Structure 1
């Protein structure tokens, strides 16, 4: 996503609201006049406890966003909003119980009124309605490759990956190389069968699996024999490399041409 597209995305209510909530305490605590009135202090400075909380927040955000593979400004913000808002909640409660309660109410209402915007651009993705729909399609198209992403709508990493997966689907889609998605939040049985942990602390969301003949060929993030989940950053280049999409596309394209020649001869 370009900088221009990122800036346009920031104008959406979800991002504006969350940025305001994330900066609320720091801005108001350092604003002359407002800080004196709200916090009943003479100087607008952070005390020792506030400095510790903010310093800890910076460390947590840096670590978590690196683990989530955030590669753009929008991804970085989406991954950090939860931590910044929780830190603000602690700071507000530490300053005043009433203000902390008000912030908490705004926090909850904001989550209900301004959900994170889902990707709405072009794609060639088939959304499966549960395990049965996935199994039936894999069985029906055994001569095709299927690249299927198991995701949850509430997971920031899944939301960040959505436009990347959509763009890959428009670039590589063929009649024998198809792209699909399953919402494991709505269809947990699909996650259970394909060994995808769908809990809120899961390190497997999103999970993308390449199927051939209804069988799993490659998955990311990979899982070793001990059940350990390997780190994987879901960037466009990483997905291309992990699933060898360029060579797979040429292979499938060649198979389509050969099939058409065979049909013409008959």
Structure 2
């Protein structure tokens, strides 16, 4: 039953999200081209192509985790014209369909602004809260959506908790926490570390020179907020 549920969830995701649907069609396009060309190719070319496909399948089993690099490598083995076709095809997909956000929360919790305020002022909650302020309309938030759940799984403890506030649902919270959700300031997503009800640090920081914000990664956030130090302090009982 669990496997059937996972299969249905995967099928719904493939059909419902243009990003995955177009990639699925792009993958199937090879079989359509292959079957259409089988009648016009000579037996020698067909045999040669069959051996190449066997090599491609073996390479697929070894490099399945690296989808894009793997597909380019496979098509180079078979025919560079096919490589050019897939480069153009995936470039078009990238332009017309954005990758959907990562949906899993890890050990973080979705919060309303009122819930966050209550948690920060209560005395029986964790001393530190790292909060991600995001919005589904922001492409930066979609690209970085995997980082925060991974951080929460690694660093959550009784002294540090992780929360998410959706500024798309609660736009008034942006002004309260000094976040510009639009424009060219590059403030989405914004991460703020609170100690009790006091802001300790944030990323990106207030930037009056409008220098570009570096790509958000788990390592960047962990270093900026010194999460390893906070974890060590918790382990040592400080």
* TM-score, length of structure 2 as denominator length: 0.58
- Aligned residues: CA RMSD: 3.4
Pick from 174, 187, 191 the counterpart of residue 174 of structure 2: 191
- Per the TM alignment, residue 191 of structure 1 is displaced from its structure 2 partner at its CA by 1.0
**Structure 1 residue 14 and structure 2 residue 25: aligned?**
no
* TM-score, length of structure 1 as denominator length: 0.52
Question: Alpha carbons of 1:121 and 1:20: their partners in 2 closer, same or farther (altered >3 Å)?
Answer: closer
Unpaired stretches in structure 1, ≥5 consecutive residues: 1-7, 22-71, 74-79, 86-110, 259-266
Question: Alpha carbons of 1:234 and 1:125: their partners in 2 closer, same or farther (altered >3 Å)?
Answer: same
Question: Alpha carbons of 1:82 and 1:198: their partners in 2 closer, same or farther (altered >3 Å)?
Answer: farther
* Aligned residue pairs, count: 163
**Match for residue 211 of structure 1?**
194
Q: Distance in 2 between matches of 1:166 and 1:81?
A: 30
Pick from 149, 153, 156 the counterpart of residue 173 of structure 1: 156
Residues 23 and 93 of structure 2 are in contact (CA less than 8 Å); yes or no, is this contact kept in structure 1? no
**Secondary structure in structure 1 of the residue aligned to 2:145:** helix
Residues 144 and 176 of structure 1 are in contact (CA less than 8 Å); yes or no, is this contact kept in structure 2? yes
Pick from 202, 217, 235 the counterpart of residue 235 of structure 1: 217
Pick from 127, 135, 140 the counterpart of residue 122 of structure 2: 140
- Per the TM alignment, residue 165 of structure 1 is displaced from its structure 2 partner at its CA by 0.7
**Match for residue 95 of structure 2?**
84
- Per the TM alignment, residue 253 of structure 1 is displaced from its structure 2 partner at its CA by 2.9
**Structure 1 residue 248 and structure 2 residue 235: aligned?**
no
Q: Distance in 2 between matches of 1:227 and 1:197?
A: 15
- Per the TM alignment, residue 254 of structure 1 is displaced from its structure 2 partner at its CA by 2.7
**Structure 1 residue 160 and structure 2 residue 143: aligned?**
yes
Question: Alpha carbons of 1:197 and 1:212: their partners in 2 closer, same or farther (altered >3 Å)?
Answer: same
**Structure 1 residue 126 and structure 2 residue 98: aligned?**
no
- Per the TM alignment, residue 216 of structure 1 is displaced from its structure 2 partner at its CA by 0.9
Question: Alpha carbons of 1:140 and 1:229: their partners in 2 closer, same or farther (altered >3 Å)?
Answer: farther
Worse-superposed segment, 164-173 or 197-206: 197-206
Unpaired stretches in structure 2, ≥5 consecutive residues: 1-9, 26-66, 69-90
Residues 152 and 206 of structure 1 are in contact (CA less than 8 Å); yes or no, is this contact kept in structure 2? yes
Q: Distance in 1 between matches of 2:147 and 2:121?
A: 27
Q: Distance in 1 between matches of 2:170 and 2:195?
A: 22
